[in-house]
Amino acid sequence: MKTLRTISRFIVGAVLIFSGFVKGIDPLGSAYKFNDYFTAFGLEFLDPMALPLGILLSTFEFVLGAVLILNIRTRITSWVVLIFMGFFTLLTLYLAFENPVHDCGCFGDAIVMTNWQTFWKNAVIMVFVVFIFLQRHHFQTPYSRVQELGLTVSTVVIILAFTLYSYFHLPIIDFRPYEVGANIPEKMKIPEDAPQPEYKTILKYKKEGEIREFTMDSLPDSTWQWVETKNVKISEGYTPPISGFSITTLDGSDITDIVLDKQDYTFLFISYDLKKADRSEMEEIRRLSGFCRENNHCSFIALTSSLKEDIMRFKEKTGVRFPFYHTDEITLKTIIRANPGLMLIKEGVVMGKWHNNDVPSPEEIKTDFLREMDIKGREKKSQPGQTGNEREELPS
């Protein structure tokens, strides 16, 4: 029985630690998920609390899992775990039936699960939680009061350090499909043999005040009157890691392929909402964009979901000269956890990402990334008919 108690502690504790960690290193992602819940339940007035609640939840989960594994005050901890997991198991059961949000976000972007998958995961974990609770009087802590306090405080400090670093810079682990090294065009492709979405046709017919549903294989006789036909999706099919990524001019022209096919480096200044964007590092942004204007192998553009008038106002206040294009807000939030942030791509491959607090200098960029292009530029100049100054211009 002692072995089973230990195994149960480690299973539940490990799940809580993992859940808290993946949320903690992506605090903005957790905030976005809270915003989704607030919108779904008509609680938009709580949106300003999304970030603090996200940090609080991740910290609580991580610390709760750690003290459970360390066997600190397990008699009390077992009560807390039972209440915590019991609440979220009931919540995920409700979410599974009502489906107000498609992904509960319990494991952040590390493991995306449907609401039913999340519920069954919680149901399995609850078996171990209940066992721990029933056996709570058999746990004996190996630590003194001072050691317990020290371990608990250390755990809080560790998760908060990871969380704050990820908030003021970028997540230390990027679980999203736009991680450094990702090939965006490849991740947008759907394989030829990929499963396709499946639909079932439902037809409603009426007879003598009774309405019934029929399938195409079991249609009623002519005494029934047709009411409506609807197609119900019964299988999602294959969804590529990146879907819905597009770049359009302010007039609506699609230039996605032009940007992703460029053989030179392209900096993407990303701000899902320019009105909320941090402008503290705009001088560095202007320096970097100016460097790209003078370099034949580097372009600098901005992606935003803001309205055209907001773009014009932002350009007037900051003095930036690079062109702005439109991209979906959710896509921009997924690409980078910063507002604003920078992403460097080359032929559709993500070469680098930076938080607004870590904007690289032109000297750093030239040393780390553009040396290869400088070499290629010299090679082109040596070829007949090549000037080394040709570059593909993006439409404004």
Per residue in 26-50, is it b (16+ CB within 10 Å) or e — as a string?
Answer: bbbbbbbbbbbbbeeeeeeeeeeeb
Q: What is the pLDDT of residues 1-22, one digit of tens each?
A: 889 999 999 999 999 999 999 9
Residue 294 is inside which H or E element, if any?
A: helix 282-294
Torsion-angle region of residue 226: left (phi > 0), alpha (psi -120 to 50) or beta? beta
Alpha-carbon distance of 355 to 370, in angstroms, equals 20
Query: Which pTM value belongs to this model?
Result: 0.83
DSSP reduced 3-state for 301: strand
Alpha-carbon distance of 17 to 23, in angstroms, equals 10
Specify the amino acid at residue 179.
Answer: E
Alpha-carbon distance of 1 to 12, in angstroms, equals 17
Residue 43 near residue 53, CB atoms below 8 Å:
no
Q: How many CB atoms lie within 10 A of CB 351?
A: 16
pLDDT score recorded for residue 390: 45
Q: What is the pLDDT of residues 320-344, one digit of tens each?
A: 999 999 999 999 999 999 999 999 9
Nearest to 82 by CA among 21, 12, 30, 138: 12
For residue 348, what is the DSSP state? Answer: T
Domain limits of the chain?
A: 2-168, 198-235, 256-381
Q: What average pLDDT values come out for the chain (396 residues) when binned by 10 residues?
A: 91 96 95 92 92 96 96 92 95 90 85 90 95 91 91 96 96 94 93 84 90 88 89 81 92 93 93 94 92 86 95 94 95 95 94 93 76 48 44 59
pLDDT score recorded for residue 108: 85
The domain made up of 256-381 has a fold known as: Glutaredoxin (3.40.30)
pLDDT score recorded for residue 369: 66
